[in-house]
Amino acid sequence: MPTTLSESGAFRGTRPYRGTQVRRQRVRAAWTFLAPMLIVLALVAGWPLLRTFYFSLTDSTLSTLGTASFIGLENYLVYDNGQWYGLLTDPLWWQSVWNTLFFASVSVSLELVFGVIVALVLDAEFKGRILVRAAVLIPWAIPTIVSAKMWTWMLNDQFGIINELLMTLSIIDSPIPWTASATFSMWAVIMVDVWKTIPFVALLALAALQMLPKDCYEAAEVDGIHPVKVFFRVTLPLITPALMVAVIFRLLDALRVFDVIYVLTSNASNTMTMSIYARQQLVEFQDVGYGSAASTLLFLIIALATIAYLYVGRNQLQLGGDT
């Protein structure tokens, strides 16, 4: 419930200023204060997005941005000389869509499970809890590029500590080329992403856990119900709304993933995501029209996912605006 002046108790009864000069002045001031922010957002987000949509309908290249000609939907799909061409017929694009969906669903699921486990541990009372919580936060603070480089080194096929460790423990008998192999590179990328983002999920889950009422736990303890059952029947349903928020934040991040993959495996097709594909077309191949078409489709996929989520979870995500 927002505390706005027009509803405050002090003014009820006489309501001296509803619709008065003070109120008008406040509304005018509000728009004046919002204007700079809205202008900046229009300049860096709104206008560029519209231009990207437009470029996707042209044959622009990086050097002919202004003078390109309109070619309709040809970047997406075109029938020419008995053959279909365009983004939607490119198997590499479809692979990048599949890779992105696979990466996002697997890594977010793993983060959710491990994040909740870490949160449950941090929710318990023990000595040194604050230190452990600080330590858990460290992976989150490390720049993505740095964590990707650190893991690339640890996953190095000849000199990496992971292969060394696995071979010492006789889990594998020959080194695994983690970032180069078709089978393992996606899992390597997921592993690094999960390592980096568990803290975020854990902190949100922990915040939710600490807001739970203590009395239902006492009741369950008195009744002698097994803690695992209590977790699934009481705790989990109560923290689900907070977890859903963490999941949507993480999913949106994972669907646009770029930097961790760019550093770990560069443009390899086994781990190519939609962002990597679009940027490769845009910058490396300088094909702005085609690359913009790929960006536009990524935008549409994320927008659809967001709208679907807002529609399904509209009761949980309150905008807190005009309530």
Partner 1 sequence: MNSRQVNALLKRTGFWLLITVILIYALFPFYYAVITSLKPSSELFRVDFWLTSLDFSNYAQILTERSFVRAIANSILVSVSVVFIALLLGITASYALGRVRFRGRSTVLLVILGVSMFPQVAVLSGLFEVIRALNLYNNPAGLILSYTIFTLPFTVWVLTTFMRQLPMELEEAAIMDGATPWVTITRVFLPLMWPAMATTGLLAFIAAWNEFLFALTFTLSDSQRTVPVAIALISGGSQHELPWGPIMAASVTVTVPLVVLVMIFQKRIVSGLTAGAVKG
Site for partner 1 in 275-314 (CB under 8 A): 275, 278-279, 282-283, 288, 291-292, 295-296, 298-299, 302-303, 306
What is the CA angle 48-309-121, rounded to 5? 110
Site for partner 1 in 109-128 (CB under 8 A): 118, 121, 124, 126
78 bridge partner residues? 85
Residue 252 and residue 306: Cα distance in Å, rounded? 8
156 versus 181: smaller Cβ distance to partner 1: 156
Pick from 65, 77, 92, 219 the residue near partner 1 by CB under 8 A: 65
Site for partner 1 in 239-258 (CB under 8 A): 242, 245-246, 249, 252, 255-256, 258
Phi, psi of 79 (to 5 degrees): -105, 120
Site for partner 1 in 79-108 (CB under 8 A): none
30 versus 73: smaller Cβ distance to partner 1: 30
| Residues binding partner 1: number (CB under 8 A) | 105
Q: How far is CA 177 from the centre of its chain?
A: 28
Instruction: Output the smallest distance, CB 243 to partner 1, in A.
Output: 10
27 versus 73: smaller Cβ distance to partner 1: 27
Helix (H, G, I), strand (E, B) or coil at 285: coil
Pick from 73, 92, 113, 161 the residue near partner 1 by CB under 8 A: 161
Largest Cα–Cα distance in the chain?
84
Pick from 147, 185, 235, 265 the residue near partner 1 by CB under 8 A: 147
Find, among 116, 103, 286, 129, the residue nearest to 189 by Cα: 103
Q: What single-letter DSSP state applies at residue 7? A: G
Site for partner 1 in 12-31 (CB under 8 A): 22, 25-27, 29-31
What is the CA angle 81-85-91, rounded to 5? 140
79 versus 227: smaller Cβ distance to partner 1: 227
Considering only 88-96, 145-153, 218-226, 229-237, which stretch makes contact with partner 1 by CB under 8 A?
Answer: 145-153
Site for partner 1 in 204-243 (CB under 8 A): 204, 207-208, 242
Q: Are 175 and 155 in contact (CB under 8 A)?
A: no
Residues in contact with 101: Cβ distance below 8 Å, sequence separation at least 6, in sequence order: none
Helix (H, G, I), strand (E, B) or coil at 252: helix
